[in-house]
Structure 1
């Protein structure tokens, strides 16, 4: 698999002229395709060891080709209405250095953003996307005080702890055509490094990896509005941060990512990378986090039973997604059911994938909530009824 740069290059052709970039024509690609090999010369690679420092590592890492700030959360209104949200800002570079052009528009960076809200009671899933070049303050990120933005969509440090020490509260403000979020995420559990000290190997080749950490549980409050209805909400969010130059290897078609927040205070991240035949890649892994936020001893992915149980087929794209999973973990007395709060949570943006709120149950009882992301199904001709063990 190789990263397709066509859409990014098309946007950057606008770098020396005005106007807001439009979403490229001919969408329907897959997020996984953006993380293949491609040209790596001149970029930093995710290899060896590094010391993570916070809050600086909340900020950008421009030596790498791509990175993202990925927030998801399960919220509830004062009246008990369940809502979920996702906002992601992606930074992509098409060259290690900015072009040598006498123009304030010139840049080697293109940004893409996705915003979505799930309203299961109303049977609604609304989403939007934005593109911008990393010039003239249209999009960008900084470390201190932290901020990342894409046009009017902003994620930034705010209030107490917004300086250069300590984990900051995050303020998120973003709006789609007929919906918006305005949320404050308080400091919760400390950052947790995934993989080997934060080095998350995705493909078999050296450098096909990312630096990866999470803030797995951020107490959240604020406002969510959809089509004239507005709710005051509270709940918990999850931040995923990754940066890399190349990640997936040849023959890897996508992944299934679970971020689960349990009622007993524990959190679980599972990252299943799928190979072309449908089997789990050896680089798949999982991370347990205890109620205090400490990473528990390594969880052997091969000891996990992860099997799709029920499916939903998108009427728009034809992609068939597993929306209910059976999950059995070593040390747990009961197998869990991870089920979408509603099946239709497919983002039909320039890249097509499924990202949505889920419930976690054991022996028929609710034990947690979370988010599930599934990529590689929209373009795959493989039989999606396979076991994902």
Structure 2
């Protein structure tokens, strides 16, 4: 372990020393031999990074033709992208868990760097792993970084495969599903197999998800909204066999937020009638909801129904103050979609699901109860909250 830590420290020092002008300004190597941030720096969220702009990168300007397996892989000419998995699971005794495994890619420059060294690479990968243990009211997190050099991190373009060291999401077949997720931290681990139950969903306008009226403030975005999941979770050396459902998102962009926007509330909900809802509520710096907020309902037969800002009402019913950051987050919501005759209350499985990593944000498992078409409906999902600093 000491050798691994030393190698990581050397690698991160090389990143900082070789390309200081290309590293995001809020990433640094600190003297306590850990890759971390000051309190002020850590409180910068993903919205800060996504609002930065560089005209030399490719931009999401219009709908495109998606091509697989190529679009499972990395799009290095865009500044930012992520491979995102969340899920709600339980063991045979009904003990509930939530998990998140997300791989992020950040381009440090618009053009690849030519070098004889396999270590020198202009793509930086970051991964987040979390586990929510509802019974014990515990939230576990871990984070990793690496350049893509020397195969330490990357994404394949001939099948679904993304990795950072020994954390990975890898297709077991020739192209896509089933997907095998594996990630291990000192205290906890996941080993899960995901199979799709519904068709791929192109979010927004045929996969172009606009975040503001400014050209290029958009992402290419697709989802698998219901993935049958089975496998094991390990906490403190104790292994739990689990089953449940996961959600997968893929996005890539260069600049997806405008300067007037401060962050977002993102909802990914799976209902008991085999339908799903994704909605991102963009928040403006003046405290108002941005008119570019949008999402979709995916019906039981996989039909997508687009949602615009005026189609969805979200009311905050409660708040929670983080003991770690002193940030106040919404902690209960009432979401209504009149066109779908849907009204549900959304409640976190536990309040403390804040990631205190390089970018501070709240991402947690939630439960759902309410009505749809005059009948009771329940469900589960994940909510992400950014920009509440």
| TM-score of the aligned structures, taking structure 2 as reference length | 0.88
Q: Between 360-369 and 84-93, report the one with greater CA deviation.
A: 360-369
Q: Would you say the 8 A contact 1:40–1:246 is kept in 2?
A: no
* Cα deviation digits, residues 222-256 of structure 1 (max 9, x gap): 00011122210000000010000111111211000
Residue aligning to 1:119: 133
Counterpart among 23, 34, 42 of residue 49 in structure 2:
34
* 1:25 equivalent in alignment to 2:37: yes
Residue aligning to 2:378: 367
| Whole-Å separation in 1 of the counterparts to 2:66 and 2:14 | 32
| Whole-Å separation in 2 of the counterparts to 1:370 and 1:123 | 18
* Cα deviation digits, residues 310-354 of structure 1 (max 9, x gap): 011001101111010011111354621011011100000010000
Deviation at 1:206, TM superposition (A): 0.1
* 1:319 equivalent in alignment to 2:333: no
Q: Would you say the 8 A contact 2:208–2:219 is kept in 1?
A: yes
Residue aligning to 1:250: 259
* Cα deviation digits, residues 140-178 of structure 1 (max 9, x gap): 0012232100111011001xxx114xx421100001220
Aligned partner of residue 60 in structure 1, secondary structure: coil
Which one has a larger percent helix, Structure 1 or Structure 2? 2
Deviation at 1:365, TM superposition (A): 5.7
Check 1:15–1:229 CA distance in 2 against 1; reply closer, same or farther (3 A cut).
farther
| Whole-Å separation in 2 of the counterparts to 1:176 and 1:185 | 20
| TM-score of the aligned structures, taking structure 1 as reference length | 0.88
Q: Would you say the 8 A contact 1:118–1:125 is kept in 2?
A: yes
Aligned partner of residue 292 in structure 2, secondary structure: coil
Residue aligning to 1:259: 268
Residue aligning to 1:143: 157
* Cα deviation digits, residues 28-53 of structure 1 (max 9, x gap): 32111110132231x21101221112
User: Which segments of 5 or more consecutive residues in structure 2 lack a partner in the other structure?
Assistant: 1-10, 20-28
| Whole-Å separation in 1 of the counterparts to 2:78 and 2:91 | 39
* 1:294 equivalent in alignment to 2:303: yes
* 1:275 equivalent in alignment to 2:284: yes
Q: How many residues align?
A: 361
Higher relative contact order (CA 8 A, sep 6+): 1
* 1:67 equivalent in alignment to 2:81: yes
Residue aligning to 1:346: 354
* 1:13 equivalent in alignment to 2:16: yes
